Chains A and B, each alone.
Chain A
Amino acid sequence: MIGSIAAIGAGLAAIGAGIGLGLIGSKAMEGIARQPEAAGQIQTPMLIMAAFVEAVALFAVVVALLGTR
């Protein structure tokens, strides 16, 4: 039961992180499409931001794992 609730929590966090990653990706693509020569400069900050957003989902995974102990 607790495991299921933890899984739901991790899933909810994944929704948030998915929206965040989607926004980062879409804006970066838009930026690259508008200015293809800046692709290199856009990609690195994009990956950094993606790692930040992803970390939030992973925090939730950690909390879920600790919650199932």
Chain B
Amino acid sequence: MMKRAIALLIPFFLVFHARTLVAQHHGQEQHGDPHAQEQPAAHPTDGHQTPVGGHENHSPEGGHAQTDGHAQPGGADGGHDAHGDKKEGYNPTATIMHHIADANEFHIVGDITIPLPCILYAQDQGLSFFLSSAFHHGANAVDGYALVHGDVQRVIGFPFKSGSHHLDPVPDAHGHGHGPNFVLEEADGTRYVFHEGKKYALEGSSSLLGFTSWFDFSITKNVATMMFATVLLLWLFIGIAGTYKKRAGQAPKGLQNLIELMVVFVRDEVVKPNIPQQWERFLPYILTIFFFILINNLIGLVPFFPGGANVTGNIATTFALAIIAFLVTNLNGNSAYWGHIFWVPGVPVPMKLFLMPIELIGIFTKPVSLFIRLFANITAGHIIILSLISLIFVFGNAGESVPGSLAGMALAIPFTLFMNVIELIVAFMQAFIFSLLTASYIGAAVAVHHHEEHH
């Protein structure tokens, strides 16, 4: 029964999969251009017609009163020196945000990435299907899409609707990590790519609400990890179910002990006390979300290849889980439950009218708090661990100072180990809390009152 429930969850996640709402904050990668003057901070929709000349003289929105078109070394946001002789400090925010965000490729180490399939749909050009390796780490635009730090975005007004086309590197910009930079980011967050001397604005990431001209159904890093987690769960539970059949009546052995412990814990501590009358009916669902959240939390804590994706710290994933919880709760709600919402028993009529909207909002705030809690806890855990690791680079001045790095390491390693252990507790805790609260909401929805309760 549980296996079936797990299998049922997979299509749900694929349908509800959307890119994380946490924007990749790459403010640091913005560099001015010492030779070419800065590009006009044009409106994203008409930015594609602006030529990239060496001596453009548009007055920027940044407030420079430029009278002469050359020899002015100002950066695009006016604030920092872009000559390169002044070393910029390490910016942990960009790194951290990049690591917790979803991506269309699975970055392993250095320049090694696993390409993932991109399934993109735009109304005016139909479905595109290709591997993210076709982007050549951002150097190419494929079917009018570009890769921005591992994230697919659509180029507005790109002349080619199909095929792979080279992008020009951002003129004289500093490379960031993986070779030359192909994306220019303005101070207002708009991103641009260059193709044959022309500048094209990029549309934002495809999101759950879909306020973009295209949709991203790609198997991203998070989806790939989720599938891996599902396969792992199926393998684990099918194997253990077989062991139970083989060793019927005998004491559990090996891995069976661990899983039986958790299953019995969820049954006796979570489901039975909260849904006393119909616990057998909802046990498979609660166990499924418990183990799904748990295994994704644990995989997220593994710092190397198959792990590391921030699946349960992705608001789209937790949103999907909350939608399922919402549907299960409300579709199973009995008349007493709905009566409690629309006509609270035991209070005078004006109070009933007053409580009705509050209870109605309560239906939605419960799953909302459910998904924000999980998302915030797991994301915060990832941010803390990554911040502690960033200490090495902050102290070491981005690799400039070896004693600084060593001091950073001396500080970061024990703290990271400590936080990892805390996160291990949090991983179990959040899986437990999510299933406990879902069980209590379901319990409230299906409870049969034999007597009128006092409120």
Chain A residues near B (Cβ < 8 Å): 44, 47-48, 51-52, 54-55, 58-59, 61-62, 65, 68-69
The answer to whether A51 and B433 have CB atoms under 8 Å apart is yes
Alpha-carbon distance A61/B378, docked complex (angstroms) = 12
**Contact indicator A47/B429 (Cβ below 8 Å):** yes
In the complex, whether B372 has a CB less than 8 A from a CB of chain A is yes
B64: CB under 8 A from chain A?
no
B313 CB to closest chain A CB (Å) equals 11
CA distance A69 to B101 in the complex (A): 14
Residues of A with C-beta under 8 A to B25: 68-69
B292 within 8 A of A: no
State the B residues within 8 Å of A (CB): 22-23, 25, 189, 269, 369, 372-373, 375-377, 379-380, 383, 429-430, 432-433, 436
Given contacts A44-B269, A48-B436, A54-B377, contact A62 B429 (CB under 8 A): no
Residues of A within 8 A of B433 (CB): 48, 51-52
Query: What separation, in Å, do the CA atoms of A55 and B372 have in the docked complex?
Result: 9
Given contacts A58-B376, A59-B376, contact A51 B22 (CB under 8 A): no
Q: Is the CB of B372 within 8 A of A62?
A: yes
19 A-B residue pairings within 8 Å (CB atoms): A47-B429, A48-B432, A48-B433, A48-B436, A51-B430, A52-B433, A55-B373, A55-B376, A55-B377, A58-B373, A59-B372, A61-B376, A61-B380, A61-B383, A62-B372, A62-B375, A62-B379, A68-B25, A69-B25
A54 to B378 CA separation, bound complex (whole angstroms): 12
Kindly state the separation between the CA atoms of A54 and B433 in the bound complex, as whole angstroms.
Answer: 12
Q: A51-B429, A69-B23 are in contact. Are A62 and B436 (CB under 8 A)?
A: no
Contact B380 A58 (CB under 8 A): yes
Min CB gap A53→B, angstroms: 11
A55, closest chain B residue (CB): B373
Main secondary structure of the interface of A (DSSP, over half): helix
Q: Of residues B189, B372, B373, B375, which shows the largest number of chain A Cβ atoms within 10 Å of its Cβ?
A: B373
Chain A residue nearest to B376 in the complex (CB): A58
Expressed in whole angstroms, the Cα–Cα distance for A69 and B25 within the complex equals 7
CA–CA, A11 to B112, complex, Å?
Answer: 38
How far, in Å, is B41 (CB) from chain A's closest CB?
Answer: 18
Which residues of chain B are near A51, meaning CB under 8 Å? 373, 377, 429-430, 433
Docked Cα-Cα span, A68 to B430, in Å, equals: 26
DSSP class of B's interface residues: helix, strand, loop or mixed? Answer: helix
Give Cα A54 to B373, complex, Å: 9
- How distant is A52 from chain B, measured CB to nearest CB, in Å? 8
Residue of A nearest to B374 (CB): A55
Interchain nearest-CB distance for A51 vs B (Å): 5
Say how far A16's CB is from chain B's closest CB, in angstroms.
15
Residues of the B chain whose Cβ atoms lie less than 8 Å from the Cβ of A59: 372-373, 376
Q: For the complex, give the distance between the alpha carbons of A62 and B376 in Å.
A: 6
Listed from nearest, the 7 A-B pairs whose CB atoms lie closest are A58-B376, A55-B373, A62-B376, A51-B433, A58-B380, A69-B23, A51-B429
Question: Are A65 and B22 neighbours in the complex by a CB distance under 8 Å?
Answer: yes
Measured CA separation A65–B313 after assembly (Å): 14
| Alpha-carbon gap, A62 to B433, bound state (A) | 19
What is the CA–CA distance of A62 and B22 in the complex, to the nearest angstrom? 9
Q: How far is the CA of A44 from the CA of B380 in the complex (A)?
A: 22
Residues of A within 8 A of B375 (CB): 62
A44, A48, A54, A58 interface centre (most CB from chain B within 10 Å) = A58
Query: In the complex, what's the smallest C-beta–C-beta distance from B322 to chain A, in angstroms?
Result: 14
Q: In the complex the two chains form, what is the Cα distance from A62 to B372 in whole Å?
A: 9
Interface centre among A47, A54, A55, A68 (most CB of B within 10 A): A55
**Complex CA–CA separation, A58 to B375 (angstroms):** 9
A54 to B381, CA, bound (A): 12
CB-CB under 8 A from A54, the residues of chain B are: 377
A20 CB → nearest B CB, Å? 15
Q: How long is the Cα–Cα vector from A68 to B94 in the complex, in angstroms? A: 12
B432 surroundings in chain A (CB, below 8 A): 48
* Residues of chain A lying within 8 A (CB to CB) of residue B379: 62
The answer for the CA separation of A44 and B375 in the assembled complex, in Å, is 22
| Chain B min CB distance to A7 (Å) | 11
Chain A residues near B376 (CB-CB < 8 A): 55, 58-59, 61-62
| Alpha-carbon separation in the docked complex, A17 to B299 (Å) | 28
Chain B residues in 8 Å Cβ range of A52: 433
